[in-house]
Amino acid sequence: MPASQSRARARERNNVLNRAEFLSLNQPMKGTQETRSSSRKQGGQAGLAPTQNEGTKERRQSQQLPEEDCMQLNPSFKGIAFNSLLAIDICMSKRLGVCASSASSWGSARSMITLLGITGHGVPWIGGTLVCLVKSSTLAGQEVLMNLLLALFLDILIVAGLQKLAKRRGPYDVHPGLLDYLTMDIYAFPAGHASRAAMLSKFFLNHLVLAIPLRILLVLWAFFVGLSRIMIGRHHITDVLSGFVFGYLQFRLVELLWMSSNTCQMIISIW
């Protein structure tokens, strides 16, 4: 028995197919089987992945499209209110633009309405204030006129800056005049003439002693200056109303920056 066992072992050793490098030809190793099975699974998953991604994309689109349509068809309450007020403002401003052109219903009165608007322009007021300042001989008068000049310059700068930011056009295609370009009053919001008229009327009511009829006429003048800008088609109603508000705020700003008599005399001596 020991001799037969030794012979069998010798045969196995001499058998070339029993070597390690030839075992893979007869029996595939476990690692290769696992890699093949894993590659097959990955291939199957890769084939399913695009279809799954396409399915999810279609589902998302089907869920988002109705919502987007609803957002377009049903805007928010604030958007509806704002658009409604804007439409009313444009409609009413166009109806009040009775002097927008010579062919309008009040086209014959356009020159008179334009002249009324010029009374609220910045260039005549600045020129008149400078003339009065040169002819003034009292310290109190010079103090009031210097602060009035400061208010006029602040009004031009603030209104021009706000108009550059808003860049709103008027209800009619009315080109600005030469005086409007000088004061940079090109756009519609806010109305520069209205803000200037409101600021000047408040300034005179506070710093000049006027009779009651003159006070009433001053307030009516500011109102009709703003109305004239709507009638010639240069501004909307909201532009004029906002101009009145900004004019009052500019008056409050001038009151805070009020220059004393000594400061005014120092500035006049530099001139």
Q: Identify whether 207 is a catalytic site residue.
A: no
In this structure, which amino acid lies at residue 127?
G
Length of the chain in terms of residues written? 271
How far apart are the C-alpha atoms of 106 and 91, rounded to whole Å? Answer: 18
Helix (H, G, I), strand (E, B) or coil at 178: helix
How far apart are the C-alpha atoms of 117 and 124, rounded to whole Å? Answer: 11
Q: Identify whether 193 is a catalytic site residue.
A: yes
CA-only gyration radius of the chain, Å: 43
Kindly report whether the peptide bond that precedes residue 190 is cis, defined as omega within 30 degrees of 0: yes
How far apart are the C-alpha atoms of 106 and 88, rounded to whole Å? Answer: 22
CA dist 214 → 64, 96, 217, 244 (Å)? 65, 28, 5, 20
Kindly report whether the peptide bond that precedes residue 75 is cis, defined as omega within 30 degrees of 0: no
How far apart are the C-alpha atoms of 227 and 200, rounded to whole Å? Answer: 16
How far apart are the C-alpha atoms of 197 and 122, rounded to whole Å? Answer: 10
Cα 211 → chain centroid: 44
- The catalytic residue among 121, 175, 207, 235 is 235
**Sequence-separated (6 or more) residues with CB below 8 Å from residue 32:** 24
- The catalytic residue among 175, 193, 207, 236 is 193
Cα 49 → chain centroid: 46
- Residues designated catalytic: 193, 235
